[in-house]
Amino acid sequence: MKELLKDLVEIPAPSGYENQVRNYIRQSIEPLVDEIRVDSMGNLLAVRRKNGAMRLMLVAHMDEIGLMVTHIDRQGFARFVSLGGVMPIHCVGGRVRFLNGVQGVIGVEKNPTSYEIPPLEKLFIDVGAANAEECPLRIGDVAVFERPFLDLGKRAVSKAMDDRVGVAVLIETLRRMEKSEFEIYFVFSVQEEVGVRGATVAAFGVEPDLGLAVDVTATGDTPKGHKMEVRLGAGPAVKIRDAGMLADPRIIHWMVQTAEKAKIPYQREILEFGGTDARAIQLSRSGVPAGVLSIPCRYVHAPSEMVDMEDVENAVKLLLRLLQTPPRLDSHS
């Protein structure tokens, strides 16, 4: 899976510009599914048919955070806005690559003091141009952080682990899956980082009986980090709550019972900020029971996000088990 993950994270695909990674995913999974299509929003939907079975929507988002040029001054420096949750603390001195191949470095108007974090409005992108005429950028050009995949053995680091690691889990699940008790819609969604937009459209079209997002979650295992009971290497996490949703208790029970029965390590997750595509599924049409299988990830929304490959492997194992054991959704008791 490490080679698959490396391929995925190194493809640039900021929100709204997911075509390169979508093409890669489609080529990887087309022989493994009964039907595959791209909807009008750009989501990639792949179906494993099973007539009469419950309809399960599995979703992982393809997009990553990025930057969009808003203005180029006379000296050739480009101002920008964020696509998704770009944090200024991670920007100064960072390198970016535009979809047209242009590379640059992020600078700041003046050297801040050691305790000051400059806002995005005080940052700019320097592509080495001497003036506006030399600048190879245009208003609306988009970029992602330039970071290669770093193999640390058991752990891996890269930009875009959020959520290419979830994409990798779904692809690997498709590769290994022999049977299922569901009709499964594998959805690789667009524009999650700017408001779960792709999943909103996809869930409305799929009309699932239940939904499960596979996405990253933060950890509480770094020095003086925020208090959170999720850590790298202790297994995938079963989401209970985040800022966007309360996971359906029936889905939580199904995931926990399946993990315990299969002796797959897992963690219970409460994330006090952020959200996932599961929120869009849960609120679709007249409502859908939904939950999240989370991959612990350090430094989420930084240019270097870290995951543990054992957590990734155990996420695939748990998902394969879940696909063989449908939950009971006949009551809320």
Instruction: Tell me which residue has tokens 């979809």.
Output: 99
Q: What is the mean pLDDT of residues 148-175?
A: 96
Contact 202, 290 (CB under 8 A): no
Q: Are strands 290-296 and 210-217 parallel, antiparallel or unpaired?
A: parallel
**What domains can be seen in the chain, in order of their start residue?**
2-64+159-322 (3.40.630.10), 66-145 (2.40.30.40)
Alpha-carbon span 258 to 128, nearest angstrom: 55
Q: Which residues are catalytic?
A: 192
Q: Which of 5, 48, 52 is nearest to 24 (CA)?
A: 5
Contact 35, 46 (CB under 8 A): yes
Contact 80, 180 (CB under 8 A): no
pLDDT in tens, 117-138: 889 999 999 999 999 999 999 9
Alpha-carbon span 314 to 287, nearest angstrom: 29
Q: What is the mean pLDDT of residues 158-178?
A: 96
**Which of 69-83, 114-128, 147-161 is least confident?**
114-128
| pTM metric for this prediction | 0.95
Alpha-carbon span 319 to 255, nearest angstrom: 9
- Answer whether residue 272 shows pLDDT above 60: yes
Q: What is the mean pLDDT of residues 265-271?
A: 96
Q: How confident is the model at residue 331 (pLDDT cuts 50, 70, 90)?
A: low
pLDDT in tens, 203-223: 999 999 999 999 999 999 999
In this prediction, what percent of the chain has a pLDDT beyond 70?
A: 98
- Answer whether residue 333 shows pLDDT above 70: no
Average predicted confidence (pLDDT) for the chain: 95
Q: What is the mean pLDDT of residues 260-268?
A: 97
